[in-house]
Amino acid sequence: MRYFIFISLFMIYQHTSFKDSQLKNSRVKVAYQEKEIVVKGYFKTKKISYAGFNLYIRAFKKEAVVEIWIKEKGKDQYALLHTYPFCATAGTLGPKRKEGDSQIPEGVYYIQNFNPASNFYLSLGINYPNTSDKILSDKKHPGGDIYIHGNCVTIGCIPLTDDKIKEVYLLAVEARNNGQEKIPVHIFPDRLNNGIVEKLEKEFSPTKTTVDFWKSLKPIYQNFETTHKLKAVKVGAKGEYYF
């Protein structure tokens, strides 16, 4: 009997320890105090269950918006919960390829670290440079330290207001605490519907490498638009994305 009690307590500890550790930080405490009711209100309005959800973050640079998608426990499709505007932007359309280029990355990423004591209020770090970036970016100085964060300044990150990063950070903590080890973050230049890459090519005159890169992102965008499901994405020898 003692053995089973120990195992049960251990499992509970494992499930709640990430959130508990985050709540030791005063900014995270404030985020929960101010925003948990607000965030739960979004779920109620959209008729989405708050219990045990997974999170997907999608960003569009041209529109300068971040979308928050939720997959309820026991379901296989995501539903749009809320949309947040960037509060500042940097660079132009096209992927990040070098340290200091002020570009916001484009591609398929995931949240790799939580920083509740950031210089930019609260920060969620993405895994730039990823495998694709390491192939296509400057080999010695590709850059790094890319975050979704507060404090409306950026030289390549995605900034939200301090007020809104509280909500996104809280959602990410909840998802991680629910057992979601990797929270996907997809960053697109625009909504890559048919004809959009050609339109961007005329408007921004990108290099052929960038156009080819956008074309490899297009099926990822369109598949999710059609299915509201996330497929595993691979990276080819030339840095292109594919299923």
Q: Which residues does the annotation mark as catalytic?
A: 149, 157
| 47: exposed, middle or buried (Cβ count in 10 Å: 0-12, 13-18, 19+) | exposed
Give whole-number Cα distances, 219 to 129, 202, 213, 222, 241, in Å. 21, 21, 11, 5, 9
**Nearest Cα to Cα of residue 57 among 86, 91, 80:** 80
Nearest of 177, 181, 185, 178 to residue 146 by alpha carbon = 185
Buried b (16+ CB within 10 A) or exposed e, 102-122: ebbbbbbbbbeebbbebebbb
Q: What is the crossing angle of helices 162-177 and 26-46, to 10°? A: 80
Residues contacting residue 174 through CB under 8 Å, at least 6 positions apart: 19, 50, 53, 55
Which residues are paired to 115 by β-bridges? 123
Rounded Cα gap, residues 139 and 143, in angstroms: 10
